[in-house]
Structure 1
Amino acid sequence: MKQKLSVAPTLKNYDKKNLPKDILAGIIIMAVSIPISMGYAQISGLPAVYGLYGSVFPIILFALFSTSPQFIFGVDAAPAALVGAAVLGMGIEAGSKEAMTVVPVFTFFVALWLLAFYFMNAGKLVNYISAPVMGGFITGICTTIILMQAPKLMGSAAGTGELFELSEHIWEALHHINAAALVMGIVALAILVVSKRLVPKFPMAVVLMVTGALFTYFGPVKEWGVPTLSAVEPGMPRWYIPDFEAVFSVQKASEVIVLSLSVAVVIMAETLLAENNFAQKNGYRIDDNTELLAFSIGNMAAAFTGCCPINGSVSRTAMSEQYEGKTQLTGLVAGVSMIAVLLFCTGFIGYLPVPVLTAIVISALMGATEFHLAKRLWKVSRTEFFIFVGAFFGVLILGTINGVLIGIILSFAEMIIRSAKPATCFLGVQPGHSHFRDIRESTNIHEIDGVIIYRFSSGLFFANAKVLVRDIEDHLKHDTKAVIIDAGAIGSIDITGADSIESLYRSLKQKGVKLYITEHIAELNEQLRKLGLGYLIEQGCVRRTIHIALKDMGINRPYPLEGGVDNEERSASRKRADNRVQEFVWAFGAESEEQIEKQIKLQIEQLKKTKDIEEIMHGRWAHMDEFDQDEWLEHLEEHLKEIVNISGKDVHTLAADIEMHRREVHERIAREHPELAERFAQRRHLLDKHLKERRPEVYRIIVQLREDNKHK
């Protein structure tokens, strides 16, 4: 269902405090758009001034319809390069009258394709692109544009193509360095980088542009051979209908329509990915499909003013973000101020040094890269890190359109990889209870005697079906009577999954083991019937709950537990007390000891302020179970001398207090949970052994106290 279209959605209920920031950001975007737009217009095959025309009505119309509060539209690298290559492939000379006829027709069909994508609701495709792919994609685009701009720092023209072609351009530029241009560019870039750290809100880009223009006007910049922007004739862009007849009469219609589709796909994918990246980073939401309509409207305006296709601009959006542009008023200001430039200030453009403007663009792009995400992924998930790298190099080496395809493939590959390693566990019950829990949560959770209960938390399909079968077969024992699959998290099953279930059923049947599938949604039963497993339902192997499956086997509450563990029914109060398994083990797993130590250190820091010994005895986690309390006290003993120094208490008095707390815990266990008393004592012996190894001097004090208590 399409969202109701509204005009200027990001300007509704406008907060006036954002007005200065939006205006400043808009003016800066206009200024940096001048060199970028002029350069990309030439790459597309048009005269440079058309880049400025593309920064007027397209950017204003996009700002009025976009749901993104910060993204900026404009003449950009990928569409310009694709159109420029297509024009050259047709044998049309760049900048010629024929190019000025064909390119607007290209743009018109790009707008039509984007409109078709809007009606097809194609914007939802971006939902299948993961954060690592998105981050790698954006970083690849930013790096590509930085490499394109690098030769301009040395006084040469911008590079084109992908990594290898760009490397050649940079290599050639290194052989023809204009020293003055390089110094100006490097100094400007250094000033921008430093000011971004020291005074991030100061409009240093504007200061540098004005300084550069004044230096050119009054100084010897042109005599040094430093390139400046081309002078532009004043005047507004002219509206007219593209000359379709001229294009179609020379049989270029099919080429234009087909090639315009690839450009539209790139605009959709690149801009939506970038928009969602900024939205995710800054905590707001956009409507992907409405954005496609905004893309189409912006490109239609470009077509009727003779421009090349328009795209979302990462560099200009990064600049807007740097200067805290908050709404699309930024885009409106940029478009209107570009009108002012075209009417009254075109003479100023000819004095802007290219290296300074290039430094501004590179600075903004450096801020938009997401190498920090790659660093984070390397620490937490190597798989996602390599997906980031794949998307990054896909864009950098193979170009935007191939990078998009690689990104989509990697996203789907990631989904399959994740689904191929589903979360699984075996379930048991805690003595005195009837609900089922992961047996790894606590040593006090036991499997039901003769029954395997297995939870599989994913859709069951070709990539993970073997995991289910292997886990169950590896867990079978000689006395296993039944296998119960908790399918509560299985929402779907494919034919491979169905075949695996059938194979498992027949294998278990030969061993005299019954199979049950339980806890799932009713829709899964319909899928089982369609996949030819309806007979499992008819034979009673598919039951609504685990409890019903157990009852079907003749196993009633209280369930018999493995190893003959007592499982008598408890009163409500006993159940509540017994239900508190070790929270630190449950919450932190293998890091539980490390976390207890961390919590105690935090308590010791608090003790320095409060001097409250009682608070440190019980810890920051209220209502810990007895096992956690006992371990907490053992760790506390290791810090005995440190606590003595802070509190001023006598070491023997403090040790006696800890022992008293421990004795209370032991007595409570013996009184309320006698079945755990022996295991608790064994664990106490292990903790004492650890204390003896780590703090022998404290251990001797504790042992002496216990001896003294025995003789009282």
Structure 2
Amino acid sequence: MTEATREPGGPRLAATAPVVAALRRRFNRSTLRGDLIAALVVTALMVPQSLGYAALAGAPVQAGLYALPLALGVYAFVGSSPQLIVGPVSTVSVLTGSIVASHGAKSPEEALALVAALAVVSGLILIVAGLLRLGWVADFLSKPIVTGFVFGLSILVVLGEIPTLLGLPRGSGNVIDRVSGIAGHLDEIQLRNAAVGAVALAVLFLGPRINKVVPWGLMVVIGGLVIARFVDFPAAGIAEIGKVPGGLPGLAVPDLSAAEMGGLLTSAAALAMVGLAETLSASRLFAAQNGYHIDANREFIGTGAANVAAGLSGGIGVGGSLSKTAAADNSGGRSPLTSLATMGFVIVVVLFFAPSLGALPRVVLAAVVVHAVWPLMDLNSIRRYKRIRRNDFVGSMAALVGVLALGTLYGLLAAIAQSILGLIYRSSRIEVDVLGKVREEKAAWGSVDRNPKNRTVSGILVLRLTKPVFWVNAAAAVDLITTEIESEPGTDAVIINLEATNQLDTTSADALAELIRHLHRHGIDVHLVRVIHGTRNVLEASGVHEILGPGHMWRTISQGVRAAKRARKARKEAEAPANP
């Protein structure tokens, strides 16, 4: 039975209406109740957070709301995860804000055009990368690097929001400038403003300890709006958000020239990579928990399309949200209907309640922002990296310090460069193990250094290369093999185990050919064992197979050792008449 015949409506539906057939696969009516409940929960979390993330991105607060409807709907149809909730997320918003600040937007309108353009350009980059099947590229942005990068960004965000919490003028510049700016104006703290901020922070941080189910962010926003009906915040020296337009935005290309859009390519590429790292981590986590598969290339396309949709709607960039997806999963959300229902609820908020958000005190929004990024300063993970492996700790700290010292974009690029250099360095540190026959095992060979009881064979040196041989470490591998042979006088045959090498390149193949010629000139026979198919093809294409000679490539070490013994016996028999 084919896949088409299992579809509701049979093969005719799949053939004549593939879109309808696909929808019936993705949207399961049996999960409708759980999906709707999950959508209500997600909306309660998403609306106040989106306002805060817009502020993080340096854009008017409505940009956070505008990003939601189309992004949610587009990803529901295009993305590979049936559960992932996309929307403004902390990492993307923080990096967007840094980029906006570096471009020096002079007005809210200019900032709005800039964040929308960043969303569109980063989305197009992701779509192209997905179509080119570059999903593997995302793996270069390791978890330790993302942790350190986000930690550094979060420090910058908190430092940026402290002046708003205290009623001081907002600072700018690097970490030292911001800290000194705050310290230099401590005598100007507005006590009423600081008191409102302290209450908002207390509710946000202490509320979950009382009840984790209550959407405390929404409660703080609603509380601030209710109090604003009875208290004149501006008269008390507490600034409000200001006018928030009502209604849905129209679709439009961001108001930037082609040259300005092109100038955003580097920044948008970094934004795309950071957002994708968060998206893939969330989607893979819930795929593993609920037993389905995620296609990285399709995630590129789905996340990219969601960003393009958000940008054309006048919104900030989006990504897959771990916290909101977790909330949806815990509430019973199992299909893309959760995203579509959330889209509907958000549209209602934008149409009927957006203008009332203008009375919200800015200090309350600053508290929401600080609460959103606080968990991202993850000391426990950094301690864990240090405990597990030094290289992971170094990578995370390089990203953290890089962001603080060099800024977001160059800090990220420096961390990625450090990761790639570390990978190349570790790959180049190849080692050679001398192997011996494991006692009481029929065909097992193990390292002599780790277990001296493993028996070597007189005159035959069995060597194993511990890492893949390629152009960077080929010369080092040859030197190590030569050193081992020179340390064993009387060696007349060498068995080289190549199981760690899944393919060779021209440089490494030529180095191996020269080694074999050198050993042959000194009367040492060479056998290659456990040669993988791709490596064997390169050996044949490069001529190494001919230099090695027939009958010198084997599946197992034991076969190679037996062949070397036979060849040694044959040589002795051939030499016997000449030396009676």
TM-score, structure 2 length as denominator? 0.78
Query: Number of paired residues?
Result: 533
Deviations 1:7-40 (A, max 9, x none): 6987546374465344223222112222432563
Distance 1:332 1:528, change over 3 A: same
Match of 2:247 in 1: 235
Distance 1:256 1:481, change over 3 A: same
Q: Output the CA distance in 2 between the equivalents of 1:313 and 1:544.
A: 46
- SS of 2:242's equivalent? coil
What amino acid is aligned across from residue 373 of structure 2 in structure 1? L
- Tell me how far 1:517 sits from its aligned partner: 1.6
The answer to whether 1:538 aligns with 2:546 is no
Contact 1:270/1:404 (8 A) holds in 2: no
The answer to whether 1:290 aligns with 2:270 is no
The answer to whether 1:381 aligns with 2:389 is yes
Q: Output the CA distance in 1 between the equivalents of 2:66 and 2:439.
A: 77
Distance 1:276 1:214, change over 3 A: same
Q: Output the CA distance in 1 between the equivalents of 2:507 and 2:167.
A: 61
What amino acid is aligned across from residue 73 of structure 1 in structure 2? G
- SS of 1:349's equivalent? helix
Counterpart pick for 2:237 among 211, 222, 225: 225
Match of 1:450 in 2: 459
Deviations 1:157-194 (A, max 9, x none): 66666645654664566464222222332343344333
Q: Output the CA distance in 1 between the equivalents of 2:202 and 2:553.
A: 69
Counterpart pick for 2:272 among 245, 265, 268: 268
Match of 1:216 in 2: 228
- Tell me how far 1:332 sits from its aligned partner: 4.3
- Tell me how far 1:404 sits from its aligned partner: 4.0
Q: Where in structure 2 are the equivalents of 1:454-533 lying within 5 Å?
A: 454-465=463-474, 466-467=476-477, 469-470=479-480, 473-474=483-484, 476-502=487-513, 504-505=515-516, 508-509=519-520, 512-531=523-542, 533=544
Counterpart pick for 1:193 among 205, 209, 222: 205
Distance 1:344 1:218, change over 3 A: same
Q: Output the CA distance in 2 between the equivalents of 1:395 and 1:176.
A: 29
Distance 1:387 1:354, change over 3 A: same
Counterpart pick for 1:23 among 40, 44, 47: 40
Distance 1:202 1:408, change over 3 A: same
Counterpart pick for 1:310 among 317, 323, 337: 317
Counterpart pick for 1:154 among 152, 160, 166: 166
- Tell me how far 1:490 sits from its aligned partner: 1.6
Deviations 1:423-448 (A, max 9, x none): 75332224565413214565543112
Q: Output the CA distance in 2 between the equivalents of 1:384 and 1:163.
A: 24
Distance 1:206 1:304, change over 3 A: closer
The answer to whether 1:139 aligns with 2:151 is yes
Distance 1:109 1:357, change over 3 A: closer
The answer to whether 1:405 aligns with 2:413 is yes
- Tell me how far 1:485 sits from its aligned partner: 0.8
- Tell me how far 1:358 sits from its aligned partner: 2.5
- SS of 2:527's equivalent? strand
Contact 1:236/1:342 (8 A) holds in 2: yes
Counterpart pick for 2:216 among 204, 211, 232: 204
The answer to whether 1:65 aligns with 2:69 is no
Contact 1:9/1:66 (8 A) holds in 2: no
Q: Where in structure 2 are the equivalents of 1:356-435 lying within 5 Å?
A: 356-422=364-430, 425-431=433-439, 433-435=441-443
Q: Output the CA distance in 2 between the equivalents of 1:367 and 1:470.
A: 48
Deviations 1:444-483 (A, max 9, x none): 4311222221122321024433256326624632233322
For structure 1, which segment, 270-279 or 459-468, has the greater mean C-alpha deviation from structure 2 after superposition? 459-468
- Tell me how far 1:71 sits from its aligned partner: 4.2
- Tell me how far 1:225 sits from its aligned partner: 1.8
Q: Output the CA distance in 2 between the equivalents of 1:549 and 1:192.
A: 68
TM-score, structure 1 length as denominator? 0.65
Q: Output the CA distance in 1 between the equivalents of 2:437 and 2:25.
A: 54
Distance 1:364 1:353, change over 3 A: same
- SS of 2:495's equivalent? strand
Distance 1:373 1:424, change over 3 A: farther
Q: Higher RCO, 1 or 2 (CA under 8 Å, sep at least 6)?
A: 2
The gaps in structure 2 that reach 5 residues or longer are 1-17, 568-580
User: How much identity, in percent, do the aligned residues show?
Assistant: 22
Q: Output the CA distance in 1 between the equivalents of 2:525 and 2:372.
A: 65
What amino acid is aligned across from residue 57 of structure 1 in structure 2? L
What amino acid is aligned across from residue 377 of structure 1 in structure 2? Y
Contact 2:119/2:318 (8 A) holds in 1: no
Q: Output the CA distance in 2 between the equivalents of 1:24 and 1:272.
A: 24
- Tell me how far 1:113 sits from its aligned partner: 4.4
What amino acid is aligned across from residue 317 of structure 2 in structure 1? I
Greater Cα radius of gyration, structure 1 or 2? 1
Q: Output the CA distance in 1 between the equivalents of 2:209 and 2:223.
A: 21
Q: CA RMSD in A?
A: 3.9
Contact 1:26/1:330 (8 A) holds in 2: no
- SS of 1:453's equivalent? strand
